[in-house]
Amino acid sequence: MIKPIKRNKCGQFIKGSGSPRTQFIYINCKECGKRIKTKKCRIKTHKYCSRKCCYKNTKGRPIGQGKYGPYRNLMANGYFRVIIKGNHQYEHRYIMEKHIKRKLKKYEVVHHIDGNKQNNSINNLKIFNKKEHDRIETTRRHKNKDFPYPLFRKEITIKKINSLIKKGHSIRQIGKILKTCHNTIRRRIKINR
């Protein structure tokens, strides 16, 4: 039973009566039926007595209620994650494993061809090793017009850099003028000394 919250004339909580965040109630675990004590504010989310009960409830569920059922969630990094037999796994890796009918090796990376992390159709996925994938991603990023520093800049010569230094510009200002990173300017100067 929930205790009524006592307030004084000003509307402030009376000490000892318990605010809504610290009031406790008892509910039953969804998996084992054990009685558990939980805060009133967590009634909607707190349904299990332990992680073990929570994972038991997700094990053995078919992955295919709707698209991927309630056990598919979007991560902060932009990828979907699914729970299969109590194990968390990225959806694109799971789909690729099902397609090739084997587990992926640690060094294998599943690449999204169109660059959209949420498009996990098999036509959009391709397996690369880490080195190949890094090469593809860096060239894709540098071809992007929004990316400020192109990958290969042959037009940045030591003559241009020296002429801008003589005019009194700093290395950071030269980087902005030539639309490149100041570290590139430093490296060119170091190489040509």
For the chain of 193 residues, list the mean pLDDT of each consecutive stretch of 10: 60 58 78 84 78 63 44 78 81 92 92 87 92 83 57 72 90 84 82 73
pLDDT score, position 46: 78
| Helix (H) or strand (E) run with residue 108 in it | strand 108-112
Please indicate, yes or no, if residue 170 is contained in any of the structural domains.
Answer: yes
Residue 110 has what pLDDT? 94
**pLDDT value at residue 108:** 93
- For residue 127, give the nearest of 107, 155, 151 by alpha carbon: 107
**pLDDT for res 122:** 92
| Domain-embedded: residue 46 | yes
Q: What is the pLDDT of residue 17?
A: 52
In a domain, 69, yes or no: no
Residue with tokens 């699914």: 82
Sequence-ordered list of residues with C-beta below 8 angstroms from that of 49, at least 6 positions apart, any chain:
29, 31, 32, 34, 36
Whether residue 99 is contained in a domain is answered as no
Last residue of a domain, one of 33, 58, 83: 58
pLDDT for the residue 123: 93
**Is the residue at 123 inside a domain?**
no
Contact between 184 and 176 (Cβ < 8 Å): no
Which domain does 7 fall in, by range?
A: 1-58
This model's pTM is above 0.85: no
Count how many domains the chain has: 2
Backbone angles phi, psi at 120, to 5 degrees: -105, 30
